[in-house]
Amino acid sequence: MPDYILDANVFIQAQNGPYNMDVFPAFWEWIDQQTQAGIIASSTLVFDEIQGEGPLQDWIKSRKKSGLFITPSKDAQEKIAEITTYVLQNYDRALGEFFLSGADPWIIAEAYAQDAKVVTMEKLVPPNSKKVKIPNICRAFEVEWLDTYQLLSELGARFTL
């Protein structure tokens, strides 16, 4: 199983920011290499979230069966119940249900089940915040998380000319 599970915003912010495919194709090639090595993955639910038209969507669609997007494991399906209970007990019901309706809890559940790390560009918010954020839920379940830049550093990525 992969060591890192990627959130949708890793792909979206990379494309819309410093790693635009036209300017920085090496980043996307690196993602492919890490996928093939079994080091990183994302969820089929993330695949479903990133639909539409555009370069990122085309890239995502072309990798549907590459191993990058994995179906939630049986273990993750068991962990999602814990996450659901926690979110509904600790957050406003409407905000909790919104969070639970997307890929985010499944990314956390997969990492939790596989002892992997979550990669997200979301930031930890104060405990009294009403927002449900991936890092806060990761913290509650002692799941490690990091952002794209920390991932690149941790894996020793080097992009040179």
Tokens, residue 100: 């639970």
Closest CA to 137 of 97, 87, 91, 64: 87
Q: What pLDDT, on the 0 to 100 scale, is given for residue 105? A: 99
Q: How far apart are CA 19 and CA 30, in angstroms?
A: 11
* Domains assigned to the chain: 4-154 (3.40.50.1010)
Q: Tell me the average confidence (pLDDT) per consecutive run of 10 residues in the chain, 161 residues long.
A: 97 97 97 98 98 96 97 97 98 96 98 98 94 98 99 96 84
pTM of the complete model? 0.96
Is the CB of residue 5 less than 8 Å from the CB of residue 42?
yes
Strand partners, 140: none
- DSSP symbol at 73: P
Tokens, residue 131: 């927002």
Q: How far apart are CA 124 and CA 86, in angstroms?
A: 17
The region, left, alpha or beta by phi > 0 then psi within -120 to 50, assigned to residue 46 is: alpha
Q: How far apart are CA 119 and CA 122, in angstroms?
A: 9
Q: What pLDDT, on the 0 to 100 scale, is given for residue 1? A: 84
Q: What pLDDT, on the 0 to 100 scale, is given for residue 161? A: 84
Q: What pLDDT, on the 0 to 100 scale, is given for residue 127? A: 86
